[in-house]
């Protein structure tokens, strides 16, 4: 799909108010990048537990994912907000900054967020699929984020690196997890997604947090890997694919690729692909290609390249549609790994050596200006 930067966006980014807000947000992200590089893991909560002062085109969202291979059980929480009004699954979400009591850039107050929160344990259960009220607070010893819609609630609370995550429906607890510092691997990282912004301060960055967790899902024990993410972007939402798979032995596979402004060759996302085992990350060299076959919950995905092959079959799907002047579709697929082969440095990895694999595939299509 060819896409050129609309004239109204170019006019917008030249305004002094937009430049000021975007510059302030980029400065905050830059400060956090330096903080992460210092490897001081004392308290990275300030960015995750905050509500940003978004300029036009600004967006922020929170993502939490829990998996416990070889079990099919998974839990997904996604919350997001935009500087502009947007229709979310046929519900209207007001522009950021119009919420009652909200304090942008600080803790406290309530905000409205687009929300999709669901879990799988033999069958799919959906808590949110449109909009949720979100309240964030940050203290010296404990911070919290709580999303609610009617009698459904999702929350994360604690002080890094120890957090409690809860999901409840009409007062009944469906999921509880205690997340803690991972025994192996990088605990968190920050990645700038937009390599070549077309104008100054147009940017996107994501902060990834990696945890081990123990808990219960629908009353049954569940333990595995937790992935928490905060994304701040000042740009249109655009197509991407993301694959994250965890294996029974603790290894994981991560792949991300996007086309932010399809017809603008000078602009591209930072592609990312790695395999991690026993805390050691190996970058997957060469170009990887992600293909899919069939549609719906039985969709088959194949990620392949030189000395690399991964096939996955979806077993559950949750769609999410947002509309402004354009339409943006965001689909979350829960997948089982059906085959895996990776050769690097003379070492070969296979599905039989790693154990069963479960994970998530994201597919985003269209644009949200």
Q: pLDDT averaged over consecutive 10-residue blocks of the chain (369 residues)? A: 53 64 71 56 70 83 96 97 86 68 51 95 94 89 92 94 95 96 86 60 76 97 96 82 96 86 50 88 90 94 96 96 89 98 93 96 88
Q: Which of 337, 334, 335 is nearest to 355 (CA)?
A: 337
Distance, CA of 111 to CA of 98 (rounded, Å): 8
3-state SS string for 298-359: HCEEEEEECCEEEEEEEEEEEEEEEECCCEEEEEEEEEEEEEEEEEECCEEEEHHHHCCEEE
Distance, CA of 95 to CA of 312 (rounded, Å): 38
Does 1 fall in a domain?
no
Q: Which of 198, 268, 193 is nearest to 231 (CA)?
A: 193
pTM of the model: 0.88
Does 134 fall in a domain?
yes
Does 201 fall in a domain?
yes
Does 2 fall in a domain?
no
Distance, CA of 335 to CA of 363 (rounded, Å): 13
Tokens of 93: 């979400």
Distance, CA of 169 to CA of 268 (rounded, Å): 41
Distance, CA of 321 to CA of 328 (rounded, Å): 6
Does 149 fall in a domain?
yes
Does 89 fall in a domain?
yes
Does 184 fall in a domain?
yes
Per-residue pLDDT at 170? 92
Does 22 fall in a domain?
yes
Per-residue pLDDT at 285? 83
Distance, CA of 185 to CA of 153 (rounded, Å): 31
Structural domains counted in the chain? 1
- Residue 18's domain comprises 7-366
3-state secondary structure of 368: strand
């Amino acid at each position: 799909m060819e896409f050129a930067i609309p004239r109204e966006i170019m006019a917008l980014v030249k305004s002094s108010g937009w430049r000021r807000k975007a510059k302030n947000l980029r400065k905050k992200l830059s400060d956090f990048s330096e903080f992460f590089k210092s490897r001081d893991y004392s308290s990275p909560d300030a960015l995750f537990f905050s509500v940003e002062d978004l300029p036009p085109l600004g967006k922020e969202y929170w993502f939490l994912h829990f998996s416990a291979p070889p079990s099919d059980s998974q839990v997904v929480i996604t919350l997001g907000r935009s500087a502009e009004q947007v229709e979310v699954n046929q519900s209207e979400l007001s522009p950021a900054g119009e919420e009652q009591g909200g304090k942008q850039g600080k803790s406290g107050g309530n905000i409205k967020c687009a929300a999709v929160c669901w879990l799988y344990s033999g069958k799919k259960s959906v808590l949110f699929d449109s909009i949720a009220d979100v309240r964030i607070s940050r203290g010296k010893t404990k911070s919290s984020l709580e999303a609610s819609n009617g009698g459904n609630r999702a929350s994360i609370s604690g002080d890094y690196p120890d957090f409690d995550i809860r999901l409840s429906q009409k007062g009944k607890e469906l999921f509880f997890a205690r997340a803690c510092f991972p025994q192996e691997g990088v605990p968190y990282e920050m990645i700038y997604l937009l390599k070549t912004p077309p104008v100054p301060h147009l940017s996107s960055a994501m902060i990834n947090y990696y945890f081990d967790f123990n808990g219960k899902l629908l009353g049954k024990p569940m333990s595995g890997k937790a992935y928490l993410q905060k994304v701040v972007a000042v740009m249109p939402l655009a197509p991407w694919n993301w694959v994250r798979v965890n294996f029974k032995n603790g290894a994981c596979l991560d792949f991300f690729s996007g086309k932010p402004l399809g017809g603008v060759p000078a602009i591209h996302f930072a592609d990312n692909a790695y395999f991690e085992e026993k805390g050691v990350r190996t970058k997957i060299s060469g170009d990887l290609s992600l293909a899919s076959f069939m549609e719906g919950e039985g969709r088959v995905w194949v990620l392949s390249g030189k000395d690399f092959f991964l096939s996955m079959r979806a077993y559950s799907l949750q769609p999410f549609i947002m509309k402004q002047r354009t339409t943006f579709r965001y689909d979350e697929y829960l997948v089982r790994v059906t085959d895996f082969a990776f050769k690097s440095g003379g070492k070969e990895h296979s599905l039989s050596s790693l154990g069963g694999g479960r994970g998530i595939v994201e597919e985003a299509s269209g644009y949200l200006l």
